[in-house]
Amino acid sequence: MKIIKFGGSSVANPTNIKKVFEILHQRSKEGEVAVVFSAFGGVTEVLLKSAEKAKLGDKSYVEDIKLLEDKHFEVVKSMIPVKLQSPVLTYIKLRFNELEDLFHGIFLIKECSARTLDYVGSFGERLSAYILSELLRLEGFPAIYLDAREVVRTNDRFGNAKVDFSITNDLIQDFFHQNPGLKVITGFIASTAKGETTTLGRSGSDYTAAIFASALQATSLEIWTDVSGVMTSDPRMVYTAFTIPQLSYAEAMELSHFGAKVIFPATMQPAMKKGIPIYIKNTFEPENEGTLINNDAPNGKIIKGISSMSGISLLNVEGAGLIEVVGVSRRVFGALADAGVNVILISQASSEHSICVAIRTTEAGLAKEAIEREFIYEIRNGEMDPVAVVSEMAVVAAVGENMKHNPGASGRMFQALGRNNVNVFAIAQGSSELNISAVVSQADLQKALNALHEAFFLSDNKVLHLFLVGVGLIGKALIKMIANQREKLQRENDLDIQIHGIANSRFMAFHEDGFDLKNCPAPEDAPEAEAMDLEKFLHQMELMNFSNTVFVDCTASQDVADAYERILEAKVAIVTPNKKANSSSLEKYRQLKKLAYKRGVKFLYETNVAAGLPVINTLQDLMLSGDKVIRIEAVLSGSMNYIFSEFEKGLPFSEVVRQAKDKGYTEPDPRDDLSGMDVGRKILILGREAEQELHFEDISIQSMVPEDCVETKDVEEFFEKLKSHDKDFEAILEEAKSKGEKMRFMATLENGKAKVGLNSLDSSHPFYQLKGSDNMILFTTERYHDFPMIIRGPGAGADVTAAGVFADVIRLGNFSR
Ligand SMILES: NC(=O)c1ccc[n+]([C@@H]2O[C@H](COP(=O)([O-])OP(=O)(O)OC[C@H]3O[C@@H](n4cnc5c(N)ncnc54)[C@H](O)[C@@H]3O)[C@@H](O)[C@H]2O)c1
Ligand SMILES: N[C@@H](CCO)C(=O)O
Ligand code: NA
């Protein structure tokens, strides 16, 4: 015998009911079944609300009841042939006549006792199970309607009656013995020995099913609902949540206690006691395996699920007067119990200095008052502080039997929370080691759940959540590269990269699940694109509050760089080719590094100098290993090297500058390159990385921008004006040529002094050979003393730069989790 229970959503309308029949056809082929039904979706709520209305003298209950009647009529009219409808419609009509009288009575005497309410509530199941039994007969099942009030005996605690199992079991067994056929049973309702109608409380229909399963020693109990079993976490908050295939009873209890409201623990009790396996299945996705709850749930993962609870407040009872005083906790919890406050989590450290309890925020005022009343004298005497209440809290809990005697679960949990900047306000774990609970702020809940979910379930796959500002040349190339490499990274590096925010200077857009990177839209073309506003962008990033969030700045904007402090402060990592932050004041540069360290996040900027060439990382390694930089000589501008090496071939200077821009080597504004500013910033950054106290003012820079080109209204006008100087540049070129030399735009740093400018070099100089967008950096250090360390290669361009940014992002993957 198998007991199968369908919830309200499974029988909410004819379409769904047909799905239920398919399932029953299939199941009854496998052996004997009995079926328990809830009321049609939403019916019980309306009944109870209408009773309340009638009690308050609100006549609109009449229409509510009429609508309910129609709803039931409609099912019959659309599913039963006209000729056969009459007896069923009569049955429904009679029930609604009864209901009308009942409600009229409530309306007149303005009173509705718990007893009456149970009677009102019984109509939903009585109607649904009766109609469904008739429908099932038409479907060819030997269906027998069973009003559970005939066999389920309870005490008279109306609203939440206690079952008398010894009588109930006998009655059920007798009924089944004497009535062969498919029993179609009303969930939720029962009766007292005197024949009064009672109900079984929350999730009462599940309970009914478990009672029958237990009485009949069923081989299994199936609960059919509208979700595919118990999930690893709340799927509305954790998009990667998945169905847990198997749970022990204890785990199911722990999980359902919090967020996962698929089953209500008490309802499992009768089935659990007999060791009857419970399946949670989805009527709308019957092929999904769902969740099996039984005694021998295999323990693969350390935990089974992560549940959560919102709307929590923390109460802190604290004071010197508590230490080593016996009975304080009895008084705290006694006061809470007397006030009817349900305690959700308790934590007391061994210093005994404070007791902390988590309760529902709706009860916080009541609780504070109750405790302060109890300790009125202690508080007055200063032995205890007034009760502190912190609201807007949530509880997250990791649940699983495998945590038992298995060190590391709590380590992983708190590491994941800490790394993602989730502050933990209180912690509780009992010695059953089945559940570790932490109280976090409500604002951090989603991030906490995702961080934990990733840490425990996707530990084989770290996810970086990117927010990319500056979808220009570099930004676009970066997106393309990530799209192309994503699968390989997932497969071979256990790393996934998602982009949730994109922006250029005009527009920004967000995507909760991450943009489709293979077809990533420009910010202005994305659905729900809005005007770019950095403040709003950051706010949205903070709201989405992902674990392992990375801010990628591919602009050359000072404003964006100015936001780094705030971003790091929020424990969000930064990757950027933008030099503006590191080349601003020395204090700012140091402050950012300090902040990143303090907050435990990375600030990576390899592409600040020489694009993807490993210059910054190399220099940092030299410094960390104790080397000292004596001199740096470098060609640090891809565009300037391109310009002066191509210029030799005979094209006009202005033309070559335009080519450099078209090839994507220059800064967004090429004057930044020609003026030496860009190189100045780079040598400044290298100097600072070499631990020198370098200020921008310390650098002498030779600008190559003719004076009348400095103040042009835009880049186009600049190019126009530059043409008139082509002759001057040719003269410089001729002079170098005449000496057999080449022009290189260089930077040098020695003795705390940096110089940037154009040099004419003969063939003995290593820079003489440079071509195209090449950069070359010579580090003379204490260790690399006689011969410098040399790094050389293309130092500008979309691909080599985006690749460097990408490498920094991947590097973050190694630090994250
Ligand atoms: N091009 C290269 O070879 C190279 C090499 C190394 C480093 N970089 C650096 O990379 C960065 C980007 O260079 P690019 O060549 O891609 O420039 P780009 O002009 O093609 O792109 C810059 C993007 O940033 C956007 N932007 C500018 N200000 C913004 C703001 N305040 N808010 C939002 N978006 C803003 C622009 O709309 C544009 O989409 C620069 O910092 C540059 O120095 C470039
Ligand atoms: N515009 C720079 C590239 C960014 O660093 C260059 O030409 O080297
Ligand atoms: Na670099």
> Could you read off the pLDDT of 331-346 as tens digits, one per residue?
999 999 999 999 989 9
Residue 154 lies in a domain: yes
Residue 286 lies inside a defined structural domain of this protein:
no
Do residues 668 and 724 share a domain? yes
Q: Ligand 1: does its nearest atom lie under 6 Å from the Cβ of 470? A: yes
Structural domains in the chain (count): 4
Distance CA(423)–CA(613), nearest Å, equals 38
pLDDT over 90 (residue 255): no
Q: Enumerate the active-site residues.
A: 682
Same domain, 607 and 627: no
Question: Does residue 181 have a pLDDT over 80?
Answer: yes
Average per-residue pLDDT in the chain?
Answer: 93
The CATH number assigned to the domain holding 673 equals 3.30.360.10
**Which atom of ligand 2 is found nearest the CA of 636?**
8
Residues 648 and 591 in one domain: no
Does residue 713 belong to any structural domain of this protein? yes
Q: Average pLDDT for residues 691-699, to the nearest whole number?
A: 96
User: Residues 400, 404, 406, 407: what is their CA dihedral angle, to the nearest 10 degrees?
Assistant: 100
Atom of ligand 2 nearest to the CA of 642: 7
Rounded (5°) CA angle 170-171-176? 100
Q: Is residue 242 part of a domain?
A: no
The neighbouring-strand residues paired with 632 are 749, 779
DSSP helix/strand/coil, 754: strand
Q: Range with the lowest mean pLDDT among 91-100, 231-240, 392-401?
A: 231-240
Q: For residue range 734-762, what is the model confidence (pLDDT) as tens digits? A: 999 999 999 999 999 999 999 999 999 99
Among 441, 457, 473, which residue terminates a domain? 457
Verify whether ligand 2 is closer than 6 Å to residue 665 (CB atom).
yes
Collect residues with CB below 5 Å from ion ligand 3: 606, 610, 613, 615
Specify whether 730 is located in the same domain as 758: yes
The pLDDT tens digits of the residues spanning 501-545 come to 999 999 999 999 899 999 999 999 999 999 999 999 999 999 888
| pLDDT at residue 257 is higher than 80 | no
d(CA 483, CA 521): 13
User: Rg for the chain (alpha carbons), in Å?
Assistant: 37
Q: Are 496 and 550 in a shared domain?
A: yes
Alpha helices (H) in 42-152, listed in sequence order: 43-55, 61-79, 82-109, 114-138
Report the percentage of the chain scoring pLDDT > 90. Answer: 82
- Our answer on whether the CB atom of 666 is closer than 6 Å to any ligand 2 atom is yes
Whole-number percent of the chain with pLDDT over 70: 98
Is 263 a domain residue? Answer: no
Whether residues 593 and 690 fall in one domain:
no
Model confidence pLDDT, tens digit, residues 576-613? 999 999 999 999 999 999 999 999 899 999 999 999 99
* Domain identity same for 478 and 544: yes
590: Cβ contacts below 8 Å, ≥ 6 apart: none
pLDDT band of 297, cuts 50, 70, 90:
low
Q: Are residues 156 and 74 in the same domain?
A: yes
Range 627-653 average pLDDT: 96
pLDDT for res 359: 95
List the 530-531 sheet strands across, edge first. Answer: 530-531, 507-510, 495-503, 462-469, 549-553, 573-575, 603-604
Could you tell me if 589 and 624 lie in one domain?
Answer: no
Task: Tell which wins on pLDDT, 297 or 436.
Answer: 436
Q: How sure is the predictor about 494, in pLDDT bands with cuts at 50, 70 and 90?
A: confident
Going from the C-alpha of 54 to that of each of 48, 110, 111, 113, 227, the distances in angstroms are 10, 7, 9, 12, 35
Check whether residue 165 and residue 151 sit in a common domain. Answer: yes
Which of 678, 683, 776 is the pocket-test mutation for ligand 2 (most atoms within 8 Å of CB)?
678
**Among 438, 457, 476, residue at a domain's last position:** 457
Are residue 201 and residue 345 in the same domain, yes or no? Answer: no
Residue 112, token pair as written in the block: 């509705």
Mean pLDDT of 377-397: 94
- The pLDDT assigned to 319 comes to 87
Q: Is residue 282 in a domain?
A: no
Say whether pLDDT at 258 is over 80.
no
- Which CATH number is 475's domain given? 3.40.50.720
Q: Which atom of ligand 1 is nearest to the CA of 506?
A: 37
Q: For 403-421, give the DSSP string.
A: GTT-TTHHHHHHHHHHHTT
Q: How confident is the model at residue 816 (pLDDT cuts 50, 70, 90)?
A: low
Which phi and psi (to 5°) does residue 226 adopt?
-110, 15
Q: Where in 302-459 does DSSP place strands (E)? A: 305-318, 343-348, 354-360, 388-399, 426-429, 435-441
Check which CATH number belongs to the domain holding 361 and give it: 3.30.2130.10
pLDDT higher than threshold 70 for residue 729: yes
pLDDT of residue 234: 85
CATH of the domain at 131: 3.40.1160.10
Beta strands in 729-782 (DSSP E): 742-750, 753-761, 774-781
Band of residue 564 on the pLDDT scale cut at 50, 70, 90 = very high
Task: For residues 397 and 496, state if they share a domain.
Answer: no
pLDDT in tens, 121-154: 999 999 999 999 999 999 999 999 999 999 999 9
Q: Report which bound ligand comes closest to the CA of 800.
A: 1
* Cβ(473) – ligand 1 distance below 6 Å: yes
Domain boundary among 179, 204, 226: 226
pLDDT in tens, 75-89: 999 999 999 999 999
Using most ligand atoms within 8 A of CB, pick from 481, 555, 799, 806 the residue to mutate for ligand 1: 555
Which range of residues forms the domain containing residue 494? Answer: 462-611+805-815
Summarised one tens digit per residue, pLDDT across range 302-314 is 888 998 999 999 9
Measured from the CB, is residue 660 less than 6 Å from ligand 1?
Answer: no
To test the ligand 2 pocket, which listed residue (667, 669, 682) has its Cβ within 8 A of the most ligand atoms? Answer: 667
